[in-house]
Amino acid sequence: MKSILIAVALLASLSFSYAQDFRGLDKSPLDIAYYPDNFAHDRKAGDQALVKVVYSRPQRNNRELFGQLVPYGKVWRTGANEATEIRFYEDAVVGGKKIKKGTYSLFTIPEKDSWTIIFNSDVDFWGAYTYNDKHDVLRVTGKPETLSDDVENFTIQFTGDQKDKAVMVLAWGNTAVRVPMEF
């Protein structure tokens, strides 16, 4: 009986020591954007999402963003941590071009006057380190615009007041890029 109590006490002490080894919170927390927005007050019961984006939100922290932290002319994971993923629940038209329903990684190539928005068939990897343009499914362009208010955390949101049309907005710092979508 004494050996059983010692074994239980040992196991309990081991489990407590593991609980203290959790790493800290991510500095770039995970977020999800839907269209139509799951949290919209006017959303009707039974409305299904047409598109979902899963991404991490880096903070500006007084850094110079585009052209510096995110270099012009280079592929960017469009967020932080894992490559951003976008899932279309039905076929769509993005920037005037057709894309099949499915899950894609979302990359961008920022430039001062124009951005390339890339939908790539490779998913489930970290950053843009293994990005392969041979797996690009669609590329469209967007024009960056200057915002009057600064966006501290990189943000992806959808706007639109029609069920079958939306605009995906990528915003960080004082820059936003709008990508029109139809479903």
User: Number of C-alpha atoms within 13 angstroms, CB side, residue 45?
Assistant: 0
Q: In whole numbers, what is the pLDDT of the chain averaged over residues? A: 88
pLDDT value of position 42? 53
pLDDT value of position 39? 56
Digit-coded pLDDT (tens) for 147-173 = 999 999 999 999 998 889 999 999 999
Ordered alpha helix ranges (H), 47-115: none
For residues 164 and 175, the answer to whether their CB atoms sit within 8 Å is: no
Of 172, 176, 168, 144, the closest CA to residue 94 belongs to 168
What percentage of the chain has pLDDT greater than the value 70?
Answer: 81
- pLDDT value at 86 more than 90: yes
Digit-coded pLDDT (tens) for 88-101 = 999 999 999 999 99
